[in-house]
Amino acid sequence: MIRVLKLLIDALFILLCLGLSGFIFILPFEIYSTRIVSVQVKSFEELNNLPFLYWLGIILSIITYILFLIGLNYLKKTTNFFIRNTFFHNTIIKCLKRSGMFFILSAIVLSIAYIIAWMLEASKGHIKLILGTNIMIPLFLCIVGLFFILQSEILDRAKSFKDENDLTV
C-alpha cells in the first residue's frame, strides 16, 4: 500500500512540475487559462491592458500552484520514510506538519483568487449561483491540510510514548 501511495504522489508531483513548466512557457505566448479565470488576447498590448484584478488572479493562481507543489513535495519526503519503516522519525513529523500547512495556505490563497474572480464577474453584472468545485477544492485542501497536521501531532505523541517506554524497559 505504501508503495502505491508513493507512486501516486510521485506521479502527481511530476505532472504538476510539468504543468508549472508548461505554464511558464505558455504565458509569454499570450494565452492564459485556469479554472479561475480564462484570458485570451490577440496582442501583447491587450495583455498589458488587462485590469489589475486579472493580474492579481493570475499571480494568486501561480502562488496557489507553487504552495500546493511544495506541500506535495513534503508529502513525497514523508512517503520515503514510510517505505523504510521509520514511522516515528522527527523528519516525518515535521514533513507532515509542513505539508499540511502548505495545503492550508494554498487553500487560503485559492479562496482569495476565487473571490477576486467572483468580484470580476460581479463587476460585469454576471451574478449566478453555481454548485461547483470553486468551494469544494479549497475546503478539501483545508481538510487534508488539517488532517496532516493532526497526524503529525499524533505521531509526535506516539514517538514520545515510545521513547518513554524504551527508557523504562
Q: Poorest-confidence range of 25-34, 57-66, 111-120, 152-161?
A: 25-34
- pTM equals 0.79
Closest C-alpha to 26, from 4, 58, 66: 58
Q: What are the extents of the domains in the chain?
A: 2-168
Q: Poorest-confidence range of 33-37, 57-61, 105-109, 128-132?
A: 33-37
What is the percent of the chain where pLDDT is above 70? Answer: 77
Q: Poorest-confidence range of 37-46, 102-111, 121-130?
A: 37-46
What is the DSSP secondary structure assignment for residue 35, as one 8-state letter?
S
**How does the average pLDDT of the chain come out, rounded?**
81
Alpha-carbon distance of 105 to 95, in angstroms, equals 15
If one compares 74 and 168, the residue with the highest pLDDT of the two is 74
Cell (9 digits) for 125:
453584472
The pLDDT value given to residue 130: 67
The pLDDT value given to residue 4: 93
Cell (9 digits) for 30:
499570450
HSE, CB side, 13 Å, CA atoms: give it for residue 51. Answer: 11
Residue 76 has pLDDT above 80, yes or no: yes
Distance from CA of residue 168 to its chain's centroid?
42
Q: What is the pLDDT of residues 88-98, one digit of tens each?
A: 888 999 999 99
What is the percent of the chain where pLDDT is above 90? Answer: 40
Alpha-carbon distance of 37 to 96, in angstroms, equals 31
Alpha helices in 84-131 (DSSP H): 90-123
Alpha-carbon distance of 39 to 62, in angstroms, equals 15
